[in-house]
Structure 1
């Protein structure tokens, strides 16, 4: 099953130290933070801590840490394209195989405008990344409540794994896959067929969090994410679906829950590692 990785918004120097101390062997990070520190310095730290970079956000950046969504406005996208080679060079220098991006579930654009634009940008980014040995992973966001402004809008785009997979396929690129987030998968109905239909090689990266014990999926927000194993997600079913498509990459713990993130940073790291390694095993996955 996937190896655990972790993702956090703390300073990169502290983040790497915390991840290593908790027992992680891989990290998912912000490429902007790596650029700021310098690829050579980050490589040295990775070697020192025995870590690898499994994925990084920020192929389209939003400030010094956060990523911009795929349907960022045209002016910002044009600016990001100009600086894209420098970011992809950092991906390559860190040996990072996956660049993640988020597809807006809603947009100010009508769907008839948004879908062709998304296909074009997926192809542009994936083909550019291929030259650096990096694969694009496009995330489906199924949460509909509590979305940040950059992911919200009056018009729906796409919000499920099958829809994003279709968009990736229609883009025509061979260097893009789907990012599967367990929380969004559960919000969309927790259908294992949504994962298995992606096919061999169709999953580019995984992010994991557990779901609440109460409420209904359509009312869940990212602020309700729990450590894997603390909620009610059926992890063996999730694991089996990933196994069936041959996914052997990493799984990043991704929490936006303000109460969990208010814990001490070393406690978050330790609990994330225990969660990521304890919520499933290959033996638990039904055959």
Structure 2
């Protein structure tokens, strides 16, 4: 029997907070609550950051002692939300307007990761969708490289409760091995995988799906727990729990990340309406406790 890899126990996972966990509050309040709870890093919506102003936001980040680990919205959908990769062609072309300004804003904030979501199902045939996905990933990764930003692509593994923009009659990519293969088929070097613990669990919680990604392939990590009362096929985003409050195999997840060489932010991302109804300060504190307490030993950095 092979001894478990303990690389993560050196303190290489950095707690991070996703703004979706405290949905609907102003950016400045989100940063204050994250910093007050002890988070050294956060994710932001780049549209929201631009609306605030990158200069004033840099000052706020410095004041709070917080850095931006990743930003959503490289393809925007309104003032806050991101668009998935496989939006309709006209919508995609419209999303490209302002791409350079969004990437420059990320760079100005010291953010080196732009996150995006790949549709698990699509109205296009699978072959057509793969071709479009490859082209768009290459285009976005190349554009991001000019600003020192790396693209992080997320695979969605839940099958129920998908929003219309992520759904369709034809399968595309819904697990990490498929995503890695698709990225290998692109000509882009400046792209990696966003690993989400909830989607990893929905896909069967196979540690090999993470370790097979190999060194330097994981660009960002998001975390949430799964209810013990749900099978993998019953999981929906609205059932996400604070890490450590459910049935997810955190030691196996942490060990797999460490074996794959990941040493970076782990961002608490919740969409559970019951948890979001808690006071915002309580959510932030519970999220930090979860991000630093769900691992075994001392695998979280602080």
TM over 0.5: yes
Aligned partner of 2:35 among 3, 8, 20: 20
Question: 1:117 maps to what in 2?
Answer: 132
Question: 1:129 maps to what in 2?
Answer: 144
Question: 1:29 maps to what in 2?
Answer: 44
Contact residue 203 and residue 232 of structure 2 kept, 8 A = yes
CA distance in 1, matches of 2:32, 2:276: 17
Aligned partner of 2:291 among 267, 276, 280: 276
Displacement after TM superposition at 1:284 (Å)? 6.6
Q: TM-score, normalised by structure 2?
A: 0.92
CA distance in 2, matches of 1:138, 1:52: 21
SS of the residue aligned with 1:75? helix
Question: 1:262 maps to what in 2?
Answer: 277
CA distance in 2, matches of 1:253, 1:92: 23
Is residue 144 from structure 1 mapped to residue 159 from structure 2 by the alignment?
Answer: yes
Displacement after TM superposition at 1:82 (Å)? 2.6
> Residues 43-54 of structure 1 correspond to what in structure 2 (within 5 A)?
43-54=58-69
Cα distance change on mapping 1:260 and 1:86 into 2, 3 Å: same
Contact residue 119 and residue 173 of structure 2 kept, 8 A = yes
Aligned partner of 1:38 among 53, 71, 75: 53
Cα distance change on mapping 1:142 and 1:82 into 2, 3 Å: same
SS of the residue aligned with 2:97? helix
CA distance in 2, matches of 1:248, 1:11: 30
Contact residue 239 and residue 282 of structure 1 kept, 8 A = no
Displacement after TM superposition at 1:179 (Å)? 0.4
SS of the residue aligned with 2:173? coil
Deviations 1:207-250 (A, max 9, x none): 00000011210111111100000001111110011101111110
Question: 1:2 maps to what in 2?
Answer: 13
Cα distance change on mapping 1:17 and 1:115 into 2, 3 Å: same
CA distance in 2, matches of 1:80, 1:88: 13
CA distance in 1, matches of 2:92, 2:297: 41
Displacement after TM superposition at 1:154 (Å)? 1.3
Contact residue 211 and residue 224 of structure 1 kept, 8 A = yes
Greater Cα offset, 45-54 or 245-254: 245-254
CA distance in 2, matches of 1:179, 1:196: 13
Question: 1:226 maps to what in 2?
Answer: 241
Is residue 246 from structure 1 mapped to residue 261 from structure 2 by the alignment?
Answer: yes
Question: 2:181 maps to what in 1?
Answer: 166
> Residues 182-201 of structure 1 correspond to what in structure 2 (within 5 A)?
182-201=197-216
Task: After the TM superposition, list the runs of 4 or more consecutive aligned residues in structure 1 that deviate by more than 2 angstroms.
Answer: 281-285
User: How many residues are treated as equivalent by the alignment?
Assistant: 285
Displacement after TM superposition at 1:281 (Å)? 4.3
Contact residue 15 and residue 291 of structure 2 kept, 8 A = yes
RMSD: 1.1
Contact residue 13 and residue 299 of structure 2 kept, 8 A = no
SS of the residue aligned with 1:177? strand
Query: Structure 1: where are the runs of 5+ without partners?
Result: none
CA distance in 2, matches of 1:200, 1:52: 24
CA distance in 1, matches of 2:108, 2:18: 20
SS of the residue aligned with 2:282? helix
Question: 2:103 maps to what in 1?
Answer: 88
